[in-house]
Amino acid sequence: MTSGVVIVVCLIALIEGMDIVLIGASQQAFFQDVTDWDMFVAGWLGMGQGIFQNAGAVFWGILADRGFMKRRNILCFAAAMQGMCTLSLAFVSTIPPMWPIRMANGFFLAALRPISNGIVADLASVKEQGYYFGLMQGFFSMGTSGTGMIVGPLAESEFNLPILGSTDGWRCAFAIVSSVAIVASVFSFFKMPDVPAPPMTEEEKQQGTCEVIVWEIKAMLKFLRYPSFVLMICQGIFGSIPWIVLGNLNLYVRLCGFPQSALFWLGFPGVFGVLGGFFGGVVSDRLTKQIGPRGRPLTAMLTVGFGIPLQYMLWYGIPPGSAFNTLSVFFVINTLFNLLANWAQPGCNFPVLGQIVTGKDRNKVMCWEMAFENTMATIIGSNAVPYVISWLGSDDIDFTGETDLVQARALGAAQALIVCIPWLICFGVYSGLLWSFPIDLKRVQSEKEGGAVDDTELVAGEVAS
C-alpha cells in the first residue's frame, strides 16, 4: 500500500478512537456546564448516536459496493461532516440540541472505519493485513487515550479567548478534536487513490431502488450462513461494550481525588497504543505463519486474557483512597493495557472479516457486521453504568468538583462488572473461531476454484502496486 493510503486509514482510526470516548472524557465538566446533565442522559445520547451509526453503516456500505460514490469521496465527505458535528457540540449548553448533532455524528462516523477497512483488505496481501490493521488499531487506541489527554485537563478550566471571551475548556477541546477529522478529510481527497468498486453484473446495473434493497438483504442473509460471521457479531456485541464505558475513567479518578492535571498523564499511555496495535498485528501474522488460520482467533483470546485482569485492578481491585490508588500505578496499568489488550481488531476481527468473503463483498460484510454488533453493544453499553449503579443500591453519580470515595467505589464496581463480564463471554466466543474460521476459508477457496474470478482482487492488486 502507498504511504498516502496508510496515512488516511490511520487518521480515520484515530477519529473513531477519539469519538468513542469524547463525551465520557469531558462529562465531569458537563455536570456543571450542561443543564440537567447526568449519566442517564449520556447513555441515551450514546444510544441515539449508535442507532444512526448502525443504519449509516449499511447505507455507506451499499453506496461503496454499488459504485454510486467513490470510496475516496465517501471518506472525504464523511470525515468533514463528522468534524463539523463535533465542532457544533462546542456551542451547546443544553441537552435538546445534542440529540440531532449526535445522531448525525453517528451517521457520518459509520462511513469511516468500514470503508477504510475494506480498502486495506483489498490492497494489502493476506500475510500483511495484520501489520496494517495493527497500525490502524494503534491509532485508534491513541485516539481514545489522546482524547483523555486533550479533553480531560481542559474540560473544567476556563480560557479568555479573543472575540469569544470567557470559554469553557471542554468547548476548546471539542474544537481541537474536530480539527483532526477535517485534516483526515483533506488527506482523503488529496492522498487516497481511487480504489475501484467491484464490477457489477448487468442484472445489478438495471436494478431499481426496491430491488437493490431486496438484493442487499439477501446478501446479508447469505452472510448469516457463515459461522465465522455469526461468531464475529457475537464477539463484537460483548467485546465492544467495555470500550464504550472506558471513557468514564476521567470521572472516576476525579471522584477518587486525583487533580485535574493528572488527567493528562492518565491519557498519555495511549501513545503506547500505537506500538501495541502494531505489535498485535505482528503477533497475529506470526502465529498464522506458525499454526495456520487459527492464529487469528488465538491472538484475540490472548489479548482479551491480558485485558480483563488489568481492567479489574483499575476499577475495583484497587479501592479508592487506598495506598495503590495513585497516578503512578494507574499510569502503569494503562500502559500495559495499551500494549497488550488491543490486539483483537488488527489481529483477528478485520483479517477474518476480510478473508471469509471475496473482494466483491468486503465493504458489505464489514458494514453489516458492525451494524449488527454495534446495535446491541450501544444499547447495552451506553445505558449500563447508571442502571448497574442503581441495582447496586447507590444513587446516580453527581460530580461537584469534590472528592467522593463512596461515589467512586460505586462507579468503579459498575465499571468492573460491565468490562470484565462481557470480555469473559467474548473470550469464549473467540474460541469458537478456532473451529469456524478454517471452515469458511475452505468455502471461499472452493468458490474461487469454481470459476468465480473476482475482478476486484485483480484491480486492487494493480492499485496497491
140 and 392 in contact (C-beta within 8 Å)?
no
> Sign of the C-alpha dihedral, residues 348, 349, 352, 355?
negative
pLDDT of residue 199: 65
Whether the CB-CB separation of 276 and 338 falls below 8 Å is answered with: yes
Q: How far apart are CA 285 and CA 83, in angstroms?
A: 34
Residue type for position 254: R
- The answer to whether 197 and 64 have CB atoms below 8 angstroms apart is yes
126 HSE (CA, 13 A, CB side):
16
Q: Grid coordinates representing 312?
A: 479489574
Pairing of strands 165-168, 158-161: antiparallel
Q: What are phi and psi of 166, to 5 degrees?
A: -65, 125
Long-range contact set of residues 202-207: C-beta below 8 Å, sequence gap at least 24: 204/66
The pLDDT of residue 359:
63
* pLDDT at site 281: 83
Residues 340, 278, 299, 140: is their CA dihedral positive or negative? positive
Q: How far apart are CA 72 and CA 457, in angstroms?
A: 18
Shortest CA distance to 133 belongs to which of 287, 141, 427? Answer: 141
Q: What is the pLDDT of residue 197?
A: 63
What residue ranges do the domains of the chain occupy?
Answer: 3-464
User: How many CB atoms are located within 10 Å of the residue 455 CB?
Assistant: 13
Select from 154, 90, 53, 153 the least CA-distant residue to 367.
53
CA distance 83 to 109: 9
Answer yes or no: are the C-beta atoms of 76 and 190 closer than 8 Å. no
Q: What are phi and psi of 395, to 5 degrees?
A: -80, 165
Question: Are the C-beta atoms of residues 24 and 190 closer than 8 Å to each other?
Answer: no
User: So what CATH class is 3-464?
Assistant: mainly alpha
What pLDDT, on a 0 to 100 scale, did the predictor assign at position 464? 44
pLDDT at 240: 87
- Along the chain (465 residues), what's the average pLDDT of each consecutive run of 10 residues? 84 87 83 86 85 80 75 90 93 92 90 80 74 80 79 83 83 89 91 71 63 74 88 90 86 91 86 82 89 92 96 96 94 93 86 80 73 76 85 80 90 94 95 93 82 44 43
C-alpha cell at 73: 469521496
The number of residues making up the chain comes to 465
- The three-class DSSP label of residue 70 is coil
> What pLDDT sits at residue 5?
86
Q: What is the pLDDT of residue 198?
A: 62
Q: DSSP letter for 293, please.
A: G
- CA nearest 342: which of 410, 270, 432? 270
Question: DSSP readout, 207-272?
Answer: --HHHHHHHHHHHHHHHTTSHHHHHHHHHHHHHHHHHHHGGGHHHHHHHHT--TTHHHHHHGGGHH
CA distance 355 to 367: 15
- Phi (first) and psi of residue 403, to 5 degrees: -65, 135
pLDDT at 202: 61
Residues 6+ apart with CB under 8 A from 259: none
